[in-house]
Amino acid sequence: MRYALSFLAVFFSLPALSQTIIDYEDGSTYTLEQREEAYVTHEIVFVKREYASGAVYFRVLSPNVKRDYVETPWDGLKPGSHEWCKEYVPWSEGYTFGMQTWQRSCDTNGDGVYDENDDNWSE
């Protein structure tokens, strides 16, 4: 019984330790602090305030402009392009989205090598 209670306590406390990360269309991210709220929408969001006097005020909530993503330099190569395939070193970063793109776009015959003269290559 004691082990079951310990398991349940750990299981239900894990969500409290998780972080919420917002990924924006431009590739930037923002990690919310504990108990911080953010609204991500293209619509206008209003905050309602009710006062003891009975007055009710609405104010527009400003979009979140904070980011914690540090922009990395870009080499100008489009992933999957001929130039990118020639420059990319397979498995240099592990199994990443770049590696998946390389496998789909550059390694067209599945041999693990980019053959720029391969007839199946297309941009």
Are residue 8 and residue 42 in the same domain, yes or no?
yes
Residue with the bigger pLDDT between 11 and 91: it is: 91
Domain span at 110: 73-123
Beta carbons of 86 and 80 less than 8 angstroms apart: no
Indicate the residue among 61, 82, 111 that finishes a domain: 61
Share of the chain above pLDDT 90, in %: 9
Are residue 38 and residue 86 in the same domain, yes or no?
no
Indicate the residue among 40, 61, 82 that finishes a domain: 61
The pTM (predicted TM-score) of the whole model is 0.39
Task: Let me know if residue 68 belongs to a domain.
Answer: no
Task: Let me know if residue 18 belongs to a domain.
Answer: yes
Residue-averaged pLDDT of the chain: 76
Strands 21-23 and 29-31 turn out to be antiparallel
Q: Evaluate if residue 119 carries a pLDDT over 90.
A: no
pLDDT reported for residue 53 = 93
Residue 5 confidence class, pLDDT cut points 50, 70, 90: low
How many CB atoms within 10 Å of residue 10? Answer: 9
Q: Environment class of residue 105 by beta-carbon count within 10 Å: exposed (0-12), middle (13-18) or buried (19+)? A: buried
pLDDT tens column, 38-95: 766 777 878 888 999 999 999 887 777 777 766 666 778 888 889 989 888 888 888 8
Residue with the bigger pLDDT between 116 and 60: it is: 60
Are residue 57 and residue 9 in the same domain, yes or no?
yes
**Cα separation, 112 vs 91, whole angstroms:** 10
pLDDT reported for residue 46 = 82
**Cα separation, 73 vs 70, whole angstroms:** 10
